[in-house]
A and B are shown apart, each in its own frame.
Chain A
Amino acid sequence: MQDPRLRLLSVVVLSIAAFSGIFGAVLAFLWWLFCSERPILLKRSWWPTFAFLPLALVTIALWVTGEDWFSYVVRLGVVLLIAIYAYQDQKPGEFIKICAWAFGPKRGFDMGLAGEMGFGSIRFLEDEVRRVRQAFLLKGIPSGTRSILPISAGLVFALLRRAEEQADLLLVRGYERGGIACAKFPSSRMDVFASGIAVFFLILGFLPVREFFILIQ
């Protein structure tokens, strides 16, 4: 999706639809399957799928205690898929543009800047982990459990250094508060169609299926 505003709208309404019940989750899953570029994105970077690990643990706990694990895993699973799509389809600079567009050049810009720095740190960590793994591979050092501690410590220090550099950069550029993000949002008919479908699925998710069929009669 090219227009980040429509993507955000779609993600919010689909998350609500998926969380509301199994029927909404199925609709949101269908949207993810047919209206997003999910397989290409997951192939490009699969590590966000680790987010399913805590979901699996909680599901097992619910199953063991005799709770309704099926509804939980379906609803939260789809919410996670939508969240992974939202993260992977997002491009650097989009968040600050949306915030500045929605909340203005002062508060919106600051919110967007904070968000961009957060997203930037996640991408930075992703790159760092890949590079550290490559360095271990080249040196022939097995990157097992023994290496987790030095790698983690290295990543924390790298993030701290990056934060310091970013603070220096903002200072050098004269940042005090607020700013202008020249927001231009490319859009396409497909974007409008896909987000329209998402909103329709939200309405459908909250509408009892029986009443829906009465309505279309």
Chain B
Amino acid sequence: MELAFEGVNIRRGSIDIRISGRFVPGIHLVSGMVGSGKSTIAAVAAGLLAPTGGHIKKSGVNTTMLSFQFPEWALTEKTLGEEVSSYGLEVAGILARAGLSGREGDDPLSLSRGELKKLNLACVLAKAWDLLVLDEPFGALDCEGKREVCRWIESKRSSIVILCTHEQHILPRIDALWEFQGHQLVFRGLVPGALADWTLAAPGLKALVARGIIPANISERDLREAACRIRD
């Protein structure tokens, strides 16, 4: 399975977003500043937005899913039960996973943004997809919610998972690191080797790298383990 961007560019107003690279199975973190083009690459990868130039080649990718930055954009039904069913999933189990047991008949828009986000992620991450694109999956979630979503994402390593986020602290263990330099997507490399080149890394990770300590990965646990290696 592979998703390849060949000289792709997307014109958004006066901005030209440029993407080149190949995504293979594993968790790919796409890091970037606000407005750099993360949501654009998510929409392009999911086939919802046609590029202005270049080619996108998908091989062996038969099923694709995008978790929108704003979870209300994914709604198609009037009740929580119907919404879960629209993904072809068993209602009670998913609602329990999202912490919404017994609320099958509620209007999805009666939920808080965080609750709705978790419900959307519970639905999206409950199924197997060849290509799974997650646009800001940690937005509106509390710390515990982010950790739980990290565990769900880590269970999807056999798919091509493109994780677009500016979250710096609570992240899953990833395989490859990509970063927007201005509006151009740059492949930093495989983890942990790429961590030394990650310009948008959290200050804690940068401090570790400056001391010559490279964490095994970017999850909280990896960073704690790396911090324990500091002697003085």
Nearest CB in chain B: distance from A137 CB, A: 7
Q: Which residue of B lies closest to A136 (CB)?
A: B76
Nearest CB in chain B: distance from A18 CB, A: 33
B86 touches A138 (CB 8 A): no
Q: How far is the CA of A153 from the CA of B76 in the complex (A)?
A: 11
Q: How far is the CA of A147 from the CA of B75 in the complex (A)?
A: 13
A150 touches B74 (CB 8 A): no
B210 interface residue (CB < 8 Å to A): no
B73 touches A134 (CB 8 A): yes
A141 touches B109 (CB 8 A): no
Which A residues touch B50, using CB under 8 A? none
- Residue-wise, chain A 148-167 has the 8 Å CB interface mask toward B (1 for contact) of 00110110010001000000
A154 touches B78 (CB 8 A): yes
Which B residues touch A151, using CB under 8 A? 76
Which A residues touch B228, using CB under 8 A? none
Q: Which residue of B lies closest to A127 (CB)?
A: B73
Q: How far is the CA of A38 from the CA of B179 in the complex (A)?
A: 38
Nearest CB in chain B: distance from A144 CB, A: 13
B65 touches A138 (CB 8 A): yes
Query: Secondary structure of the A side of the interface?
Result: helix
Q: Which residue of A lies closest to B77 (CB)?
A: A150
Contact partner, B86, options A131, A139, A157, Cβ 8 Å: A139
A138 touches B78 (CB 8 A): no
A139 touches B109 (CB 8 A): no
Nearest CB in chain B: distance from A1 CB, A: 19
Nearest CB in chain A: distance from B226 CB, A: 38
- From 103 to 161 in chain B, residues with beta carbon under 8 angstroms from any chain A beta carbon are 109
Q: How far is the CA of A131 from the CA of B87 in the complex (A)?
A: 16
A132 interface residue (CB < 8 Å to B): yes
A135 touches B48 (CB 8 A): no
Q: Which residue of B lies closest to A132 (CB)?
A: B76
B66 interface residue (CB < 8 Å to A): yes
A141 touches B86 (CB 8 A): yes
- From 33 to 71 in chain B, residues with beta carbon under 8 angstroms from any chain A beta carbon are 46, 48, 64-66
* Central interface residue in A131, A138, A150, A157, by most chain B CB within 10 Å: A138
Contact partner, B76, options A139, A157, A161, Cβ 8 Å: A139
B78 touches A153 (CB 8 A): yes
Contact partner, A150, options B66, B73, B76, Cβ 8 Å: B76
Which A residues touch B48, using CB under 8 A? 134, 137-138
A138 touches B77 (CB 8 A): no
Nearest CB in chain B: distance from A123 CB, A: 16
Which A residues touch B64, using CB under 8 A? 138
A135 touches B76 (CB 8 A): yes
- Residue-wise, chain B 85-109 has the 8 Å CB interface mask toward A (1 for contact) of 0110000000000000000000001
- From 108 to 134 in chain A, residues with beta carbon under 8 angstroms from any chain B beta carbon are 131-132, 134
Which A residues touch B73, using CB under 8 A? 131, 134-135
- From 83 to 119 in chain A, residues with beta carbon under 8 angstroms from any chain B beta carbon are none
Q: How far is the CA of A139 from the CA of B48 in the complex (A)?
A: 13
Interface residues of B (CB under 8 A from A): 46, 48, 64-66, 73-78, 86-87, 109
